[in-house]
Amino acid sequence: MTIEPKTVKHQGLSIHTIQTKQFKTNLMVIKFRAPLRKEDVTARALLPYVLQSGTQKWPTTATFRTHLDDLYGMNASVDVSKKGESHILSFSVDVANERYLQDNTPLTKEAVDVLAEMLFNPLLEGEGFSSKIVEQEKRSLKQRLETARDDKMRYASQRLIEEMCEGEPFALYPNGEIDEVDSITPKQLYEVYKRMMAEDTIDLYIVGDIEESNVVKECEIKLSFSVREPLPREKATYTQKEEPKKIVEKQSVKQGKLNIGYRTGTVYGDDDYIPLVMMNGILGGFPHSKLFINVREKESLAYYAASRIESHKGLILIMSGVDPGKIDRAQTIIQEQLTAVQQGDISDKEVSQTRAVMKNQMLETLDAARGIVEVLYQGVVAGTNLTIDEWFSKIDETTKKSIVDVAQKVQLDTTYVLTGKEEA
Amino acid sequence: MEKKRFDQLNEELYFEKMDNGLLVYILPKTDFSKTYATFTTKYGSIDDQFIPFGEKDFVKVPDGIAHFLEHKMFEKEDGDVFQRFSEYGASANAFTSFTRTAYLFSSTSHVKENLTTLIDFVQAPYFTKETVEKEKGIIGQEITMYDDNADWRLYFGTIQNMYHNHPVKVDIAGTIESITDITKDHLYQCYNTFYHPSNMLLFVVGSVDPEEIMKQVREDQQGKNYEAQAPIERKFEEEPSHVKREHHELKMDVQVPKCMVGLKATNVELTGLDLLRRELAVNTALDVLFGRTSPHYTRLYDEGLIDDSFSFDFSQEKGYGFALIGGNTREPKKLANTIQTILREEGNASSITNEQLDSVKKKNIGAFLRSLNSPEYIANQFTRYAFNEMDLFNAVPTLETLTIEDISSALADLAQQDHMTSFFILPKDEEAIE
């Protein structure tokens, strides 16, 4: 099975269509990509939320959302994320396929109109955005940033990255920095918007049972972006720390969080990327992995102990929640698991299980429209295009030796511990 | 095997009741790579008083036992069941809710083998003293993780405000103390009572041939000797209709306060079509009143009382039910008062118009189509509906028959002063925000 998008480049926009009868709705996602930059990360994070809150045609959330509801609950949403050292703003619409309705309103055409209205016709006031909307969305953004820190699991993951990648753009949180929010003016934000529209690398994905040529034509007319320079593709660099860093923070929490970050030097698209993913699978990606079996099942230290790859940055990140008194013990066992992989203490069964679940994971991801978009976009961001078949044969070709080789490149960088306060 | 066709949706549902009482449903989705299967027992955290299989008297079991049992089902004499699923490339999981325990896998190959593994591991318990003790550390950390999770505490705090006696007020995983008492004998007692096939439902959705799957399950079940089981007797304490307390709050290490308003449901004996109509009516009312198109939402957002975390939901099962409305807010008191005032006013005289109702209906038709993209949604929701004698595929047709009167009477029933409560999570004083 293979998912092959048809890609059309129309001036500044790459349109990728994926024709499939699998879903009962059609999904369109447009992604804007620029380098993560301290000077505009916060304003960019605010931008999608301002754009979805008022347009010339639908000046309020209520009018906009009423229009969407009447189009059989068209779903419109925005998202802010990062991939490696790129900052990505996404705008999505998902709409019922009219062939499952007793109504023949051309919903996919309406979906293109909604995207176009959000992006090209924002509600303006003088030389900036509507000041009321900007103020409201600044307040929401601040609250979003604070609330993210209130979720301790997310907080610990975020703090590890901040400490580990200090001084690198990757340390920036995609939603920006709270201290930067207040000073953003409607006029400045409008300048950031113009820059996004003029300079960002833009990819549009359309997934569903669509008539490709019609939809593409519609998009070329309504989503017209000028030609632009491609984003320079530089492999992010970093200075290796002389000593691994360790940070311990205290809050009023009952469970300790132990998060550990490693550098691998391998990113998505590199020759040893698949062996790295396999290695992560053996170490901590799945319930058959060493971390789950040893930290959780054998030692009963944690409910969750897992590792994941930050694929465009080349990191392995381990996360676990353990009793504050047992953090050292957990750390020892985690380190032992990595050492075991590095020394080749890997059974044939572990390799074959990991192969099987990795293939399964990929195919399952492609069973959701959003999954298809994300998998394809991974390749676009990295500038490599692997088909699913190629991906699978690389998994099959990966040997234990190549897994051990890549494991030996893995270096401890930073350990972050969130633990309880001794309360009086 | 019976077959039901939904022409407009282009879906087919196959059904058979096995001789031992197990209900099996199959929904083929041939455009998908994966197959998703759930094997669910109608047994959750609220089933803490019952007559054990083969006995005469009611017993009360420790809090958190249904969830504990779910964890322990994965361990067998020859090791962990996750290992076997991984060998066939499947990803497996399980969850326990108030009323259900579900075991599941999804896989894009070896469906037959994985389905056998699923059915066999759920139908062959293996508990020892050592493995039960070992699990207490793991579940202890799961409980502690939820203890530190402000959203979870908000959710449970609101439920605990509403319920005096009903076990829905007890955290699904129990407490560190309550799980200390759990023994392997408790686990076998609960297992033997609630895991009889006649109390269970198997749902398979995905790239399968329904004939083959049904044959496999039929032969498998015929090969296992289950004696017929009498209906399970459960017991619940009397629950007053009013809330236990109007308000309570908790201080945690958070920066932004959280506010939840709870409405305790009446008429909690409803099942089948009546329950379906009630759920749809209340959810529609909440959508019109608090959805992003509503004047109330606009006002609350303009005043800075809510942000995009604001949400609402209503669910009801036999014996309990509640609506929850709230989110992150700078001014929890003001938000709670405003929500309660809106509900009181609407309960007295609903302002909901036909136009609003039609808009919600349209929106839900699209939302239902969207949810049919998800095998997980189909299997889990179908099972929940079936256990309450409702039909998932009847939800949209039923919604279309709802009238303004249905909505206003549901609201009048629900939005009574002594059925309302509020719960706040507040920052600790030393970390208070300016």
pLDDT digits (tens, 9 = 90+) for B229-260: 999 999 999 999 999 999 999 999 999 999 99
Q: Is residue A233 part of a domain?
A: no
The answer on A179 and A319 residing in a single domain is no
Lowest mean pLDDT among A85-94, A415-424, B124-133: A415-424
- Does the structure show a pLDDT above 60 at A1? no
pLDDT tier at B2, thresholds 50, 70, 90: very high
Q: Does B21 touch chain A (CB under 8 A)?
A: no
* Residues 393-422 in A contacting B (C-alpha not used; CB under 8 Å): none
- In chain A, what residues touch B89 (CB-CB under 8 Å)? 356-357, 359-360
Residue of A nearest to B135 (CA): A300
- Chain A positions touching B71 (Cβ under 8 A) are none
Q: How confident is the model at residue A240 (pLDDT cuts 50, 70, 90)?
A: confident
Q: Are strands A201-208 and A13-19 parallel, antiparallel or unpaired?
A: parallel
Residues A215 and A307 in one domain: no
**pLDDT tens, residue by residue, A7-36:** 999 999 999 999 999 999 999 999 999 999
Same domain, A182 and A287: no
SS3 at position A76: strand
Average pLDDT, rounded, for chain B: 96
pLDDT of amino acid A104: 82
Are residues A340 and A407 located together in one domain of the fold?
Answer: yes
| 8 Å CB contact of A302 and B141 | yes
pLDDT of residue A2: 61
What is the pLDDT at residue A3?
A: 74
Is residue A404 a part of any domain in this protein? yes
pLDDT on residue B432:
44
Count Cα atoms within 13 angstroms, Cβ side, for B33: 22
- The span from the CA of B120 to the CA of B220, in Å, is 9
Q: Is B389 a catalytic residue?
A: no
Last residue of a domain, one of A187, A222, A257: A222
A22–B253 C-beta distance less than 8 A:
no
The answer, yes or no, to whether residue B314 has pLDDT greater than 90, is yes
Residue B389 pLDDT more than 50?
yes
Tell me, what amino acid is at A212?
E
Residues A57 and A174 in one domain: yes
Average pLDDT over every residue of A313-329: 97
pLDDT of residue A382: 87
Which residues of chain A does B82 touch, with a Cβ-Cβ cutoff of 8 Å? 287-288, 292
CB A249 within 8 A of CB A419: yes
CA–chain centroid gap for B105, Å, is 18
Higher pLDDT, A1 or A151: A151
Give me the residue from B34, B86, B302 closest to A287, CB to CB: B86
Q: Which residue has better confidence, A104 or B111?
A: B111
Smallest CA–CA distance from B92 into chain A, residue: A287
Query: Which residue is catalytic, options B2, B55, B70, B135?
Result: B70
Please tell me the distance from the alpha carbon of residue A33 to that of residue A168, in angstroms, as a whole number: 18
Domain boundary assignment for chain B: 2-222, 247-427
Residue B377 contacts A where some CB pair is shorter than 8 Å: no
Which CATH number does B2-222 carry? 3.30.830.10
What's the pLDDT tens digit per position in B100-158? 999 999 999 999 999 999 999 999 999 999 999 999 999 999 999 999 999 999 999 99
pLDDT in tens, B167-204: 999 999 999 999 999 999 999 999 999 999 999 999 99
3-state DSSP call for residue A267?
Answer: coil
In this prediction the ipTM stands at 0.94
The rounded mean pLDDT for chain A is 95
Nearest CB to B141 within list A24, A287, A323: A323
Order across the sheet with B23-28: list the strands.
Answer: B2-6, B11-17, B23-28, B200-206, B35-41, B101-107, B91-96
CATH 3.30.830.10: does it fit domain B247-427?
yes
End-to-end alpha-carbon separation of chain B, Å?
65
Q: Is residue A49 part of a domain?
A: yes
In a domain, A150, yes or no: yes
Query: For residues B327 and B261, what is the distance between their CA atoms, to the nearest angstrom?
Result: 9
Give A239's DSSP letter: P
- pLDDT tens per residue across span A154-204: 999 999 999 999 999 999 999 999 999 999 999 999 999 999 999 999 999
Say whether residue B31 is in contact with chain A using an 8 A CB cutoff: yes
Q: Cα separation of A265 and A237, whole Å?
A: 9
Q: d(Cα A88, Cα A92) in Å, to the nearest integer?
A: 13
**Taking 90 as the threshold, does the pLDDT of residue B277 lie above it?**
yes
Structural domain includes residue A20: yes
Contacts of B88 in chain A (CB under 8 A): 356
Q: What is the CATH number of the domain that holds A183?
A: 3.30.830.10
Three-state secondary structure call for residue A127: coil
- Give dist(CA B25, CA B224) in Å, integer: 20
Which pLDDT value is given to residue B430? Answer: 58
Residues A184 and A149 grouped into a single domain: yes
Judge residue A183's burial from the number of C-beta atoms within 10 Å of its C-beta, 0-12 exposed, 13-18 middle, 19 or more buried: exposed
| Identical topology for domains B2-222 and B247-427 | yes
Do A137 and A216 lie in one domain? The reply is: yes
Rounded Cα distance, B150 and A202, in Å: 38
- Residues from chain B that touch A150, judged by Cβ atoms under 8 A, are 150, 253-256
Residues A213, A256 share a domain: no
Nearest to B298 among A60, A69, A71 (CB): A60
User: What is the number of structural domains in chain A?
Assistant: 2
Mean pLDDT over A301-317 rounds to 96
For B137, which of A144, A301, A364 is closest by C-beta distance?
A: A301
Indicate the DSSP class of residue A296. I
CB of A224 less than 8 A from some CB of B: no
- Tokens representing B15 are 């059904």
Euclidean distance between CA atoms A382 and B273, whole angstroms: 52
Closest CA to A206 of A78, A95, A128: A95
Same domain, A198 and A304: no
Task: Give the domain extent around A207.
Answer: 6-222
Question: Which residues on chain A are in Cβ contact (under 8 Å) with B150?
Answer: 150-151
Confidence of residue B431 (pLDDT cuts 50, 70, 90): very low
Average pLDDT in the A59-71 region? 96
Asked if A100 has any chain B CB less than 8 Å from its own CB, the reply is yes
CB A86 within 8 A of CB A315: no
Residue A351 lies in a domain: yes
**Cα nearest neighbour of B8 on chain A:** A100
Question: pTM for this one?
Answer: 0.96
Name which of A119, A58, A105 is nearest B366 in CA terms. Answer: A105
Asked if residue A150 and residue A23 are part of one domain, the reply reads: yes
Q: What percent of chain B has pLDDT over 70?
A: 99
- Among residues A181, A185, A213, which one has the least CA distance to residue A126? A185
**Is the model's pLDDT at A386 over the cut of 90?**
no
A122 domain residue, yes or no? yes
Full 3-state SS string of chain B: CEEEEECCCCEEEEEEECCCCCEEEEEECCCCCCEEEEEEECCCCCCCEECCCCCCCCEECCCCHHHHHHHHHCEECCEEHHHHHHHCCCEEEEEECCCCEEEEEEECCCHHHHHHHHHHHHCCCCCCHHHHHHHHHHHHHHHHHHHCCHHHHHHHHHHHHHCCCCHHHCCCCCCHHHHHCCCHHHHHHHHHHHCCHHHEEEEEEECCCHHHHHHHHHHHHHCCCCCCCCCCCECCCCCCCCCCCCEEEEEECCCCCEEEEEEECCCCCCCHHHHHHHHHHHHHHHHHHHCCCCHHHHHHHHCCCCCCCCEEEEEEECCEEEEEEEEECCCHHHHHHHHHHHHHHHHHCCCCCHHHHHHHHHHHHHHHHHHCCCHHHHHHHHHHHHHCCCCHHHHHHHHHHCCHHHHHHHHHHHCCHHHEEEEEEEECHHHCCC
pLDDT at A424 over 80: no
Sequential DSSP letters for A142-209: HHHHHHHHHSHHHHHHHHHHHHHTTTSGGGS-TT--HHHHTT--HHHHHHHHHHHHHHSEEEEEEEES
- Determine whether the interchain pair B138/A255 forms a contact, defined as Cβ–Cβ distance below 8 Å: no
Domain identity same for A208 and A258 = no
CA A293 to chain centre: 28
The beta-carbon neighbor of B363 closest among A62, A72, A139 is A72
Looking at CA atoms only, how far is residue A62 from chain B in angstroms? 4
The answer to whether residue A230 is domain-embedded is: no
Give the helix/strand (H/E) hosting A318. strand A315-322
Q: What is the pLDDT of residues B9-66, one digit of tens each?
A: 999 999 999 999 999 999 999 999 999 999 999 999 999 999 999 999 999 999 999 9
3-class DSSP state of A88: strand
Q: Which amino acid is at B265?
A: A
Candidate from A230-239, B308-317, B338-347 with smallest mean pLDDT: A230-239
Q: Report A:123-142 residues touching B (Cβ under 8 A).
A: 136, 139-140
My answer on whether A207 and A317 are in the same domain is: no
